[in-house]
Amino acid sequence: MVLVATTWRLASRRQSLPCPVWLRWLVELDNPFTKTNRAAFVVETLALSPGMTVLDAGCGPGRVTIPLANSVGPAGRVVALDIQPGMLARAKTRTEAAGHTNVEFVAAALGDDKLPAHYFDRAVLVTVLGEIPDRAGALAELFSALKPAGILAIVELIFDPHFQSRGTVTGLAMATGFRERAFFGHSLAYVIHFEKPDGD
């Protein structure tokens, strides 16, 4: 596992590469080392209610998608978006096996402006930001897609080859127009909530 992670980290220094589909098993482990990145913890911080609409941007194999779908219930909706069809196929299989029918799968790159405006109550970006070449463009699309007062949760973990520091993430988010609302964890493994100000 260490060899795979090191090789991927070195390759990622040259360019922003999406996590390869064959490595999805590593993502599905739900990180045994720190709770901050665990799907249950990330979802718990969001205080979701039944009926909410949530975007799982860069959903990968559906690790976070399934607890999100569970929390918003049948009256709610989760949109699971990923740039790689192989990741979406795995997420769809797992979501269906878990019995959820409230998830829509979208094959698209964040930053391509495929998302509806003012639509989501919450959005999550879990260890994805560093894989996106145009990070400012991606955050601008998330800002537009959220309803006013909507919350974006960005999760970063030092074990991820594309780890982004708190300063980098906060700087990008503030430049987009977000306001920081909450911080969980520490500098090497954290969840930050950013709010789209009401009125935008």
Ligand X SMILES: C[S@@+](CC[C@H](N)C(=O)[O-])C[C@H]1O[C@@H](n2cnc3c(N)ncnc32)[C@H](O)[C@@H]1O
**Which residues contact ligand X (rule: CB under 6 A)?**
18-19, 27, 58-60, 63-64, 81-84, 87, 109-111, 126-128, 131-132
**How far, in Å, CA of 1 to CA of 58, rounded?**
22
Q: Least CB distance from residue 132 to ligand X, whole Å?
A: 4
Closer residue to ligand X, CB minimum distance, 72 or 124: 124
Q: Least CB distance from residue 199 to ligand X, whole Å?
A: 28
Q: Least CB distance from residue 198 to ligand X, whole Å?
A: 27
**How far, in Å, CA of 118 to CA of 133, rounded?**
24
| Torsion sign (Cα): 187, 144, 68, 16 | negative
CB neighbours (10 Å) of residue 49?
A: 12
The answer to whether 88 touches 82, Cβ cutoff 8 Å, is yes
Q: Residue number with the shortest CB distance to ligand X? A: 60
Closer residue to ligand X, CB minimum distance, 5 or 83: 83
**How far, in Å, CA of 45 to CA of 54, rounded?**
14
Q: Least CB distance from residue 128 to ligand X, whole Å?
A: 4
Closer residue to ligand X, CB minimum distance, 52 or 155: 155
